Amino acid sequence: MTAKINLLVGGPTELWPAELKQNQVMGDWIGIDRGNLHLITAGIDPLVAIGDFDSMSAAELKLVKQHVLDIRQSIPEKDDTDTQLGLEVALNEYQADQIDIYGATGGRIDHFLSNLWLVLEPRFKPFAPKIRLIDRQNTISFYLPGEYDLVKETDKKYLAFVTLTPVTDLQLPDEKYTLKNFNADRPISFASNEFLGTTGHFSFTSGMVAVIQSKDI
């Protein structure tokens, strides 16, 4: 069993967080399409390489095959995105306790929305709390109904609560801007909130909420 799996998608490298650029991210990797090349260039051989690889040259694909034992080459015309396929592998084959996805938030907006809404799919929804999307400015975490303690990331200033579905009884009791017994019938981003200290709390009774810690650059 592997406790933590990272996925690297082929998004813009300029949006990578510093720890990724400095090869300081802990855990094993699954490479998604061109993300495999970035990992190999950084000296990391992924456990699995997934993608249709249609954007790679023959030399680049050869390099990936030299470094990765498990190649899952898909066809471009398919129902699942390469990121969905990678998430399936991380959950079902490696039983990951935590999955951090990098390179999934920049570039084309349709790709970003596809990655953001992954957690709403019935096959992924039960595992949503294990999944994070991380880039240079943001950490996006996902929550199912319950009561939660949040810990402030030291380099982040802002805190947002985003209702991805209808949500009932959302409560923000000790953030800078509080909220009590709020029911959302649509997606809403309660943006630019802040921690008052190093921890905060929130709760809700139905739906799904994304929590985003972010910073300006």
pLDDT the model gives residue 76: 67
- Report pTM: 0.93
pLDDT tens track for 23-68: 999 999 999 988 999 999 989 999 999 988 887 888 998 999 999 9
pLDDT of residue 104: 92
Edge-to-edge strand ranges of the sheet holding 146-151: 146-151, 199-204, 167-172, 179-184
What domains can be seen in the chain, in order of their start residue?
Answer: 1-136 (3.40.50.10240), 137-217 (3.40.50.10240)
Phi, psi of 205 (to 5 degrees): -115, -15
Q: How far is CA 158 from CA 93, 117, 130, 161, 194, in A?
A: 35, 22, 22, 10, 5
pLDDT per residue as tens digits for the range 143-200: 999 999 999 999 999 999 999 999 999 999 999 999 999 999 999 999 999 999 999 9
Q: How far is Cα 170 from Cα 151, in angstroms, rounded to an integer? A: 18
Buried b (16+ CB within 10 A) or exposed e, 168-196: eebbbeebeeeeeebebeeeeebeebebe
Q: Is the dihedral of CA 72, 73, 75, 80 positive or negative?
A: positive
Percent of the chain with pLDDT over 90: 81
Q: Which pLDDT value is given to residue 77?
A: 65
